[in-house]
Amino acid sequence: MVFPIPQKGRYLQRYNDHGCRLVVGCIPYRFKAEGNERPPNEVEVLIISSPKSQEMMFPKGGWELNECIEQAASRETLEEAGVLGKIEHELGKWIFKSKSQEIYHEGHMFPLLVTEQLDLWPEKNVRKRVWMTVAEAREVCKQWWMKEALDKLVDRLQSVDVLSTIHSSVEQSFAPAIEANLEEEEDA
């Protein structure tokens, strides 16, 4: 796989109407398979280290002028974490202050259901990546807005799980009646 060279500098960066730099990122996640020490189907998230410190976070970076928001989020996740996957509906938007400068950023986060984890990626030599439970990720990620995005992802996954459980139980409840109707139609 050939990777584009990560952009350096801010000349292609997007800014909002208030002068906030627009950044986008993903919370890469997967469902743990059976046969591991963790319960099957438990959600795991991928955390990466900062290249300048050992601080842990989710992949994120600048949204460039020549790409849509989903492309930017996917690109940043590939460059920083070395994973590919399916980008899902945006988790939200946050305004936060840069740690290194006296400026504000507008951050957008997306869930990314990981389908492929690469052995080589553009920032492999400057970052560590670690799969961990949601609780572990909440503990090591120090950025409040990323923790809020993680909470939104967990809420969304739990509501989808609840809906699928309800749908399954409703199907089971009505299955005998549906089968009886089908048999009556065949006899008629």
pLDDT tens for 11-39 read: 789 999 998 999 999 999 999 866 556 55
Task: Flag whether 15 is in a domain.
Answer: no
Residues 6+ positions from 62 with CB-CB distance below 8 Å: 7, 10, 12, 13, 14, 21, 22, 23, 24, 72, 76
Q: Which domain holds residue 71?
A: 21-163
Question: Over the stretch 54-66, which tens digit does the pLDDT of each residue have?
Answer: 899 999 999 999 9
Task: Flag whether 178 is in a domain.
Answer: no
What's the total number of domains in the chain? 1
- Mean per-residue pLDDT of the chain: 85
pLDDT band, very low/low/confident/very high, at 167 (cuts 50, 70, 90)? very low
Task: Flag whether 2 is in a domain.
Answer: no
Task: Flag whether 3 is in a domain.
Answer: no
49 vs 148: CA distance, rounded Å: 19
Task: Flag whether 6 is in a domain.
Answer: no
85 vs 44: CA distance, rounded Å: 14
Task: Flag whether 101 is in a domain.
Answer: yes
Rounded to a whole number of angstroms, the distance between the first and last alpha carbons of the chain is 61
pLDDT at 124 over 90: yes
| The pLDDT value given to residue 102 | 77
159 vs 93: CA distance, rounded Å: 20
Task: Flag whether 176 is in a domain.
Answer: no
| The token pair that represents 45 in the structure block | 């998230």
Task: Flag whether 134 is in a domain.
Answer: yes
The CB-side HSE value for 144 (13 A sphere, CA atoms) comes to 6
Q: What is the arithmetic mean of pLDDT over 74-91?
A: 97
| The token pair that represents 184 in the structure block | 């009556």
